[in-house]
Chains A and B, each alone.
Chain A
Amino acid sequence: MRLVDGKELHRRLPDVGGISALESTETSIFDPFLYTIALAENAVTNGATFKFGEEVKAIDRNINQEEARFTVSTNKNKYDTQYVINCAGLGSARIAQMLGFEQYKIYPCRGEYLILDKISDKYLQVPVYPAPKKGIGGLGVHLTPTIHGNIIIGPSAEYLDDGEDYASTKPIIEKLFCEAKQLLPTLERKHIIGAYAGIRSKQAPPSEGGFHDFVIKEEPECPGFINLIGIESPGMTASMPIARMVKEIIGKTTELKPKKSFNPKRKGILKFSEQTDEKKDQLIKSNPEYGEVVCRCQQVTKAEIRQAIENPLGVKTIAGVKYRVWTTTGRCNGGYCFARIAEILEREYGIVPEHITLRGEGSELFSGKVK
């Protein structure tokens, strides 16, 4: 970390308001969606199985079973297992309760964000946070350029009664815009292209605020049950170290050997838009579907969309394609590509319109064919 005076601040970030700054020279930004997807796809490639659309309803202990200490029941299946690792986030306290652990409580705390157009290379090349205000117990509303060139403003912090209320609200949208305008005076309404919200799994109740430490623990009374509870920010940054801690925990009672055939690489999807003209021509000649741009705003071709649909997790949704190749996220917000992607899913992957979803069961997009 280093202190930056007003002169240097103004020279390096002329559009940002401020009289001085603290610089964190080793902070980076990346794509959180692609990170999670890449981890999951890599796990599948190396033998893991993912089951989507399955809700855990009960976990039973099999007391005299040495090989399968637990039976996990979902709405669709039953699984016998030796270890249960609870990464259920907002539901993590509920999962812990299924095995009788009542001491954990999650207080859902919503954070809203605004999404701005791709003006970051003009106005904001680095994340900018205001100096923390006393008593807030958080980082406050900040501006972050994304890996795709957008800027996001947020988050807010609001404890919720309904732990599944991902709504953006009018007063917060206004508040975010006004606070951001203080950090970036050149900001205008027309730069806002969207809003979204996430919900933190906080362990600190509203009366207390602030943070509790992560719970990363194999329950002594229940060997094999490992709880990861209250993993809010900086949970993403901490995800790898947390995973290694879990490995250490398991390694204490079960012999773990590095798998020789483990493939550490996840095959990414080549971005047509980032290639040279010559490379683009080569790609098209090798596969004509690289010559069909389906997402105009982000210049994503049919070949890439196909790769996104044919992912190792077997996910064939609009969001699944979006998070892998960034379709529907441009200025037209899917105005050109959405209908075309739906048609590809229908015609080329045999998904009838009434089963095409935004992000899985329950988010169906169409009622069927017209005729």
Chain B
Amino acid sequence: MEKYDVVVIGAGPGGLAASTAAKKNGAQRVVVLDRNNYCGGVLNQCIHDGFGLLRYKQALTGPEYAVNAEKEATDARVEIMTSTMVLSITTDKIITATSKKGFIKLQAGAIVLATGCRERTRGAISIPGTRPAGIYTAGVVQNLVNIKNIMIGKRVVILGSGDIGLIMARRLTLEGAKVLAVIEIMPEPMGLQRNVSQCVYDFGIPLYVSHTVSCIIGKRKLEAIEMSSVDVNKQPIPGTEKIIECDSLVLSVGLIPENEVALTAGVALDEKTNGVITDDYLQSSIPGIFACGNCRRVMDLADLVSEQGEIAGLNAARFVKGDSLQAFEKKQSVFKKGFPIEGTVTCPLCPNGCSVLEKEGVIEGNKCKRGEKYYLQEQTDPRRTLTTTIKQLDGSLRPVKIENVRRSELFETVRNLNYNS
């Protein structure tokens, strides 16, 4: 059985940062395992930008952020095993996994769980109606569209206005689908103000708050959804039903920490959230097993996940050496969510997200000159950073980012790219 000082499970932003930190803090043999045949986890399908504003002071796309994180790990001489699925772990920190080379058994001095999260499903929220083809969760759609080059449908309804739902509203629209509605059960949108602005308002997509999908209609294939207004208890109000014909329903109704691996060792999970319960040192109920990122608690910013991963990795290394652990500092995301303030422009250039407006000829609300410049640009000639994919010669998709595209030319730019690639 191979022995490692620290074994990190999951090579997403949390796991990669943890493995890098473990190496940098004295752990000799560090390996990070991932079930995908690539590193970066879900970042690879998040081709939009806005990652790294805190950590790298740039607006990176998910894949660009993942490349940075992976390079930091390989520079630190972390061993990486992709296409490796961890099946179980024990309290003695023995890990079993499978890969194409064979069954794997490792002994770890310490383990860092960085297994991310899964999406809440239609079944879990008991949406009434039939079970036709055409119902997906947003992350799966993102994977299909951005990595597998498979388009789900032509007339789409999105349930849930968290960032994933908003991002997919824009993505699907740019790739030729008609997004008929974004439906949100809460009284205001759950995603970033700038996403509401740039993903929904920019494209004239109807946003219905305090509404839900009360029934799914269709025999073998989705034909329509029934949308209802909801009361204060989030229950559909009879008489408010509206039928929206569609061929795809995309669910963005919440993320749940993914802890199937943690369960195999009996790691204590939060009853309500399913997240790993940790102490001030990110250590779980089992000494020497640490957790970071979405599998501990679903987080908004990859930058903060990486920071948390660093502490978990550092402490895993210290645990192996028998040193005292470092407490981790809880941080909150600084971005503003909900409806953009009417009459203002939400500047996307840094985490401050200033709401800029003009009052009696004076531009205010911005903390720096860039905000003012952005506001003026929005008034005269709105520009957007376009992120999309192009098809390469071998048929695979490559994410691309084009800055300063005229907002009115976004469609055409995507169409030209599709035509020419």
Contact = CB atoms under 8 A, between A and B. Distances in A.
Interface of A: 115, 164-170, 173, 192-196, 277-278, 280-281, 284-285, 288-293, 296-297, 299, 301, 331-336, 338-339, 342-343, 346, 353, 357-360, 362-371
Nearest to A168: B128
B129 A168 contact: yes
Q: Can you list the 3 inter-chain pairs with the closest CB atoms, starting with the nearest?
A: A194-B123, A281-B103, A358-B133
B148 A343 contact: yes
Contact of A364 (B148, B214, B221, B236): B221
B220 A362 contact: yes
B337 interface: no
Given A194-B123, A293-B35, A367-B153, A335 B140 contact: yes
Interface string B134-164: 1001011001110011111110000000000
Q: What's the dominant secondary structure at chain B's contact region?
A: mixed
14 contacts: A167-B129, A194-B123, A277-B103, A280-B103, A285-B102, A293-B87, A335-B119, A336-B118, A342-B144, A365-B134, A368-B151, A371-B175, A371-B397, A371-B421
Contacts of B128: 167-170, 173, 195
B219 A277 contact: no
Contacts of B215: 167
Contacts of B385: none
A285 B102 CA distance: 6
B20 interface: no
Nearest to B132: A363
Given A281-B102, A343-B150, 6 more contacts: A166-B131, A167-B128, A281-B103, A284-B101, A332-B118, A338-B140
Contacts of B151: 353, 366-370
A104 B33 CA distance: 62
Contacts, number: 159
Contacts of B102: 281, 284-285, 291
A289 B101 CA distance: 10
A256 to B, nearest CB: 38
B126 A195 contact: yes
A265 B96 CA distance: 34
A282 B221 CA distance: 42
A52 B338 CA distance: 50
B220 A363 contact: yes
B361 to A, nearest CB: 46
Given A292-B83, A342-B150, A366-B152, A164 B123 contact: no
B295 to A, nearest CB: 13
A370 B149 contact: yes
A171 B347 CA distance: 46
A168 B126 CA distance: 9
Contacts of A346: 148, 150
Nearest to A281: B103
Contacts of B390: 371
A115 B132 CA distance: 17
Given A335-B137, A363-B221, A365-B152, A167 B126 contact: no
B326 interface: no
A329 to B, nearest CB: 10
Interface of B: 35, 83, 85, 87, 96, 98-103, 105, 118-119, 121-124, 126, 128-134, 137, 139-140, 143-145, 148-154, 175, 214-216, 219-221, 236, 247, 258, 260, 389-391, 397, 418, 421
Contacts of B214: 170
A264 B148 CA distance: 41
Given A291-B101, A335-B139, A370 B389 contact: yes
A192 B390 CA distance: 41
A368 B153 CA distance: 8
B134 A333 contact: no
Given A196-B131, A371-B149, A335 B121 contact: yes
A47 B154 CA distance: 42
Contacts of A299: 87
A370 B153 contact: no
B391 A293 contact: no
Contact of B389 (A359, A360, A371): A371
A296 B140 CA distance: 15
A294 B101 CA distance: 16
B218 to A, nearest CB: 9
Given A277-B105, A280-B103, A291-B99, A342 B152 contact: no
Contacts of A343: 148, 150
B389 A366 contact: no
Contacts of A371: 149, 175, 389-391, 397, 418, 421
A285 B104 CA distance: 12
A167 B223 CA distance: 13
A359 B85 contact: no
Given A284-B102, A291-B99, A335-B118, A296 B35 contact: yes
Contact of B100 (A193, A195, A288, A342): A288
Contacts of B221: 362-364
Contacts of A281: 102-103
Nearest to B98: A291
B421 to A, nearest CB: 7
Contacts of A170: 126, 128, 214, 236
A181 to B, nearest CB: 15
Contacts of B236: 170
A352 B37 CA distance: 24
A193 B124 contact: yes
Nearest to B103: A281
A291 B100 contact: yes
Contacts of A363: 132-133, 220-221
B148 A339 contact: yes
Contact of A333 (B103, B123, B219, B389): B123
B121 to A, nearest CB: 4
B126 A365 contact: no
A339 B144 contact: yes
A115 B134 CA distance: 21
Nearest to B176: A370
A213 to B, nearest CB: 31
Contacts of A165: 130
Given A166-B130, A192-B123, A284-B103, A370 B118 contact: no
Contacts of B140: 334-335, 338-339
A115 B35 contact: no
B260 A331 contact: yes
Contact of B124 (A164, A192, A285, A291): A192
Contacts of B103: 277-278, 280-281, 284, 291
B126 A173 contact: yes
A368 B215 CA distance: 26
Contacts of B219: 164, 166, 362
A23 B149 CA distance: 55
B214 to A, nearest CB: 8
B87 A366 contact: no
A368 B149 CA distance: 9
Contacts of A285: 102
Contacts of B216: 167
Given A293-B98, A335-B139, A338-B140, A366 B153 contact: yes
